[in-house]
Structure 1
Amino acid sequence: MKPLFTATATAIGGRNGHTETSDGIVSADLSVPKEMGGPGKSETATPEHLFAAGYAACFGGAIDYVANQQKKDASKATITCAVSIGPREGGGFGLSVKMRVEDRSIKQAELERLVQEAHEKICPYSHATRGNVEVNFDIVGG
């Protein structure tokens, strides 16, 4: 792969620390949520928050890219990405993703095709998670 862009971030203190991109655009204090036995400090994020935000934005861009190739407009699609963490059967922890894609200006069947193509061919987050993370979709078209 020939990189087109590289984002760099540094985390100090792991899940109870701070993470920030080298350009300062993303800066987040982190804490372990109460559900995972941590303090769940207010106004803090988790790696799952950051992953969900990135995947939702990237997937929205992938759908819009696919739609544009087909002379359609999906620029107003709303993508909601829920990332869950939990113990794996083989030990350690794993992630699962539930992605809701809504655009009532596009017919249901058409939106389903756009989502499928974006997921299978375009979105780098989808490529990275394939075979590693369960990703389920809820698609709501017009």
Structure 2
Amino acid sequence: MSFTRAFTPILRNASRSTAIRAPTRRFLNTETAPVLYSAHAKVVGARTGHIEGDDLNINLTMAKALGGPGDAGKTNPEELFAAGYGACFQSAMNASAMSMKIEMPKKKEDSVVETTVHLVGDMKALDMGIRVEMKVKIKGLSRDQVEKIVAKAEEVCPYSRATKGNVHTKIEIVDV
């Protein structure tokens, strides 16, 4: 039996199931996209230094787990990343819900994103990275609605886009 005769039924069925699809949406070209907002920060002294920005004045400390003093009232890059990612992701959830005509809770405390950033790797070998865990809690919505909102937020959140493929991120939906 020839190759063509043996595979004709398979090829015939394959060609029927092939549909013309709309081109997938490309990610934003961040190099040429119009700037919506810019933030600037000046850091002096690395992990034990100081950060200044237009509306920012923060002292840094090395975390105790990394051998530093972990001074009260001071922060570190991982904590700042956790705060920024969590706030950005929650804003993306709000925008996603609105685009899907799902009403988010009126009270701010009824929609919570808890973000943990882990510094991982080997400091001695200078081979480090971060891993992110998020817990999403939204009162008054079904689990299905929350899952849809989170899935859309993962697509549109600038932090999620920036870390995709680089940072392992686990998002857990917590029933409330």
Shared fold (TM-score greater than 0.5)?
Answer: yes
Residue 101 of structure 2 corresponds to residue 98 of structure 1: no
Give the total of aligned pairs.
Answer: 139
Structure 1 stretches of at least 4 aligned residues deviating more than 4 Å after TM superposition: none
SS at match of 2:58: strand
Go from structure 1 to structure 2 and tell me whether the alpha carbon gap of 1:96 and 1:136 turns closer, same or farther (over 3 Å shift). same
Aligned to 2:81: 51
Further displaced range: 73-82 or 131-140: 73-82
Does the 8 A contact of 1:16 with 1:30 survive in 2?
yes
| AA of the residue aligned to 2:52 | E
Aligned to 1:41: 71
Normalized per residue, the structure richer in strand is: 1
Per-residue deviation, residues 56-98 of structure 1 (Å, max 9, x unmatched): 111010000010011112254211111110215x852110111
SS at match of 1:93: strand
SS at match of 1:27: strand
Residue 113 of structure 2 corresponds to residue 79 of structure 1: yes
Aligned to 1:6: 38
TM-score (structure 2 length as normaliser) = 0.74
SS at match of 2:174: strand
Q: Which of 118, 124, 128 pairs up with 2:153?
A: 118
* Partners of 1:34 and 1:86 in 2: CA distance: 15
Question: Which protein shows a greater Rg?
Answer: 2
Per-residue deviation, residues 30-61 of structure 1 (Å, max 9, x unmatched): 01111001121111100111111111111010
Aligned to 1:132: 166
Further displaced range: 72-81 or 47-56: 72-81
* Partners of 1:41 and 1:131 in 2: CA distance: 33
Determine which structure has greater relative contact order: mean sequence separation of CA pairs < 8 Å that are 6+ residues apart, divided by chain length.
Answer: 1
SS at match of 1:48: helix
Go from structure 1 to structure 2 and tell me whether the alpha carbon gap of 1:7 and 1:124 turns closer, same or farther (over 3 Å shift). same
SS at match of 1:57: helix
Per-residue deviation, residues 92-140 of structure 1 (Å, max 9, x unmatched): 2110111111012110011011101110x21000001111111001102
What RMSD, in angstroms, separates the aligned Cα atoms of the two structures?
Answer: 1.7
